[in-house]
Amino acid sequence: MNPSDPPPAPRRTALADRAGYDEAFLGPVVPLPMPARSSVATVVLPYEHFTVVFRPDRRLAASTAVCIDGRELLEDVPRDDVWEYDPRLPAEQQAGEAVYVNNSLDRGHLVRRLDPVWGPAAVAARANTDTFHFTNAAPQADVFNQGKQLWQGLENHLLGHAADFDRKLVVLTGPVLHDSDPPYRGIQVPLRFWKVAAFLQDGALAASAYVLDQSPDLSRDSERALAGATPGAPPPLGPFRTYQVPVSDVAELTELEFGPLPDVDVMPPSRGPEERWRRLESYEDVVLHG
């Protein structure tokens, strides 16, 4: 390089210009999910079209929120696949590469890569890159099965039912951060993940909620399964099981505030506790009308 040439631009900016998630994207306000307890310290990190509510004590996100405009999604933006730390936080507060190297854990996107990739090409490319920050990842089993396939495609399925407002959708996602989550390489690995979608249905705000379970074995006590793990190895994670659940159950599991969404849940009230969680075997099992 000629000494007079300017230095190459950094691949990423300091993210200071990111506006993040728009709570009024749908019209009715859908607030960013925040901890119900003021004692839980979080940092709000805006990106392009999405925001991460981060918990430094767990080195993982408590919640994420993304605006999806189905009319403007760009599917030809190439994958970045280079994960970086968010420069707005100390690297030691983030679950970085050391958590994922030489093991069977995937860096599971919380905000799915393609969800914020819409709008003008430059904006979409920036959103694509923004999803590859460790603040937007959590450890997931690397197995691929029907449950994981359902989970990864839920947004596409829900967009097809969000036509009343120009195919706009808000998706809130995060891990269930529980005190009993198994420790591994300086973090605790979440065994469940949640997703709440908000959209307009017949002109009114509606919501549906889902839980992905990667507990080691639902047929026996999970603590026994975890206790039998090889020392130094990642916790044994089971196959992905996807459920549709009441929004109120997600609020209870996560101790997060979801504003009006529990009251506009499209899932009909259950007749008993055993019917509250609906195991999904295909998209046809999803309930989107009360």
DSSP states along 155-205: HHHHHTT-GGGTTEEEEEEEE---TTSPEETTEE--SEEEEEEEEEETTEE
Q: CB–CB of 102/120 below 8 Å?
A: no
Q: Flag whether 7 is in a domain.
A: no
Q: Is the pLDDT of residue 239 over 60?
A: yes
Q: How confident is the model at residue 290 (pLDDT cuts 50, 70, 90)?
A: low
Q: How far is CA 244 from CA 105, 172, 208, in A?
A: 25, 14, 8
Angle (CA) 240-186-184 rounded to 5° is 40
pLDDT at 77: 87
Q: Flag whether 162 is in a domain.
A: yes
What percent of the chain is modeled with pLDDT above 70?
Answer: 88
Entry pTM: 0.91
Q: Flag whether 106 is in a domain.
A: yes
Domain span at 112: 34-285
Q: How confident is the model at residue 118 (pLDDT cuts 50, 70, 90)?
A: very high
Return the half-sphere exposure (C-beta side, CA atoms, 13 A cut-off) of residue 56.
13
H/E segment holding residue 105 = strand 105-109
Q: Flag whether 132 is in a domain.
A: yes
Average pLDDT value for residue range 12-17:
78
Q: CB–CB of 96/87 below 8 Å?
A: no
CATH of the domain at 276: 3.40.570.10
Instruction: Specify the number of domains making up the chain.
Output: 1
Q: Flag whether 209 is in a domain.
A: yes
pLDDT at 1: 39
Q: Flag whether 200 is in a domain.
A: yes
Q: Flag whether 86 is in a domain.
A: yes
pLDDT at 116: 96
Q: Flag whether 2 is in a domain.
A: no
Cα–Cα distance, 253 to 173 (Å, whole number):
13
